Amino acid sequence: MQKTLRLIESIKAVHDEHGETRYILLGSSQILRMEQVRESLAGRVVLLELYPLTLPEMLTDSWDELLLESRWIEWLRVGMPGDFWQRFVRYLEMSYQVLMLRPWFRNLRKRLSKASKIHFLDPGVERALLNRRGVPTGHEFVTAVVSEVYKQIKNSRLPVECYHLRTVDGREEILDKPLLGALVISNDGSIQDLGEGIMEVPVVWALGR
């Protein structure tokens, strides 16, 4: 059907003239979303979308076999357990796949109750899951630095805790906080004094030798 789009205008004209006329149109594209299609056939068509085979469909032996829904669909129908995602993320953390970086608050209860940031401990796994190639994005760079900092601290058995700072409006900033001293780890190739006790250092210089 997508190769003979002119038929759509003809079908509309025939339908408007002879409302009892019926057609079955088949195509491998979402025809009504194609730029060349000017007529939507609104009120004149019923769309039935047939997607590629799903895993449960491929596991059947014949067309007559009863198709069983996956657990995923069952969960969506009846609702997932209230703590499903918390348990899932907890499993990722326990298996050393992700790091739950808690926000910094003076109030210890807030640290536990406010949302944490999730970072993959192996940036390569994250990029593989996202099918990413080439230069890392800003988020990927941050994750790589955070995971490396965290792993080196833990491997060195230092009594240091890691947090992320976030302002009330949700922005992640650190330079507006009263700091005794701070390092800004960047992808630049030189060390710079940013003033007020803050030094900018290259990531390779800080985390390598």
- Nearest partner of 143 among 160, 129, 158, 155, judged by Cα: 129
Q: Mean of the pLDDT values across residues 138-144?
A: 85
Provide the token pair at 78.
């009846």
The residue among 113 and 136 whose pLDDT is bigger is 136
What confidence score (pLDDT) does residue 25 get?
A: 74
Residue 14 has φ and ψ, to the nearest 5°, of: -65, -40
Provide the token pair at 73.
């669909």
Asked which of 28-42, 57-71, 142-156 is least confident by mean pLDDT, the reply is 28-42
Angle made by CA atoms 148, 123, 141, in degrees to the nearest 5:
75
What confidence score (pLDDT) does residue 176 get?
A: 47
What confidence score (pLDDT) does residue 32 get?
A: 58
Residue 101 has φ and ψ, to the nearest 5°, of: -90, 110
Radius of gyration of the chain (CA): 28
Angle made by CA atoms 123, 125, 129, in degrees to the nearest 5:
120
Grouping H, G, I as helix, E, B as strand and the rest as coil, residue 44 is coil
pLDDT of residue 151 exceeding 70: yes
Longest dimension (CA), the chain: 82
What confidence score (pLDDT) does residue 23 get?
A: 75
What confidence score (pLDDT) does residue 175 get?
A: 42
* pTM of the entire predicted model: 0.51
For residues 94 and 91, what is the distance between their CA atoms, to the nearest angstrom?
Answer: 5
- The model's pLDDT over 27-55, given as tens digits with 9 standing for 90+, comes to 766 665 555 556 666 667 777 777 788 88
For residues 162 and 104, what is the distance between their CA atoms, to the nearest angstrom?
Answer: 9
Q: Mean of the pLDDT values across residues 104-132?
A: 76
What confidence score (pLDDT) does residue 181 get?
A: 62
Read off the pLDDT band of 174 (50, 70, 90): very low
Q: What percent of the chain has pLDDT over 70?
A: 74
Asked which of 35-44, 51-60, 64-73 is least confident by mean pLDDT, the reply is 35-44
pLDDT of residue 113 exceeding 70: no
